[in-house]
Amino acid sequence: MTARDRQLLAHAPYAKADVPEQFLRHVVDYPRKEQPGTILVDTDARYLYFVLPDGKAIRYGVAVGEEAMAFSGVARVGRLAEWPDWVPTADIQARLGPYPARVAGGPANPLGARGIYLYSGNKDTLYRIHGTNQPEYIGQAISSGCIRMRNEDVIDLYDRVKLNSMVVVLPPGQNARVEAGTNWRG
């Protein structure tokens, strides 16, 4: 976490939300076969896993998309951004707006501290893994399709993930079947 991160998060316009213990960051045993550096999102369980070597993963609690709007499939990390601007899509403007055409990055921005942009081939899917200014929704299916994380967690993930890393987002009904392991929180 940078000095800028600490400064912006110290004055965040939202209350420090209580996130249930199971949705806080933990290192867990990871029996699946994805390669280290892969991100796997279990939408049913509301967890994102960053695969580590030696059968381990970092498990983060997330908020996922409402069922009709959720992204699922395989993508890659096509762009990484710190405190990204938010440009609401036409669909979001129609359903939830009106919003300004662009919301500058910062603690009041819905994308939070980091944006991890999901691409399919060379095309932006318009789905993101990003921070949030509403951490109280971690563990729920509430977003317009993006995967939201606590700002502290998305900063941690951002510092680990590389461009072109694989991202696997399981569709509803396809649980990852990853058992909780070590109760470590970093």
Return all residues near 83 (Cβ < 8 A) that are at least 6 apart: 4, 8, 105, 106, 109, 113, 114
Tell me how far apart the alpha carbons of residues 82 and 168 are, in angstroms, rounded to a whole number.
22
Active site residue 146: yes
Return all residues near 101 (Cβ < 8 A) that are at least 6 apart: 87, 88
Active site residue 130: yes
**Candidates 146, 154, 161, 176; catalytic one:** 146
Please, what is the angle between helix 151-160 and helix 3-10, to 10°? 160
Could you tell me the two tokens for 23?
């949705």
**Candidates 26, 130, 148, 150; catalytic one:** 130
Instruction: List, by residue number, the catalytic residues.
Output: 130, 146
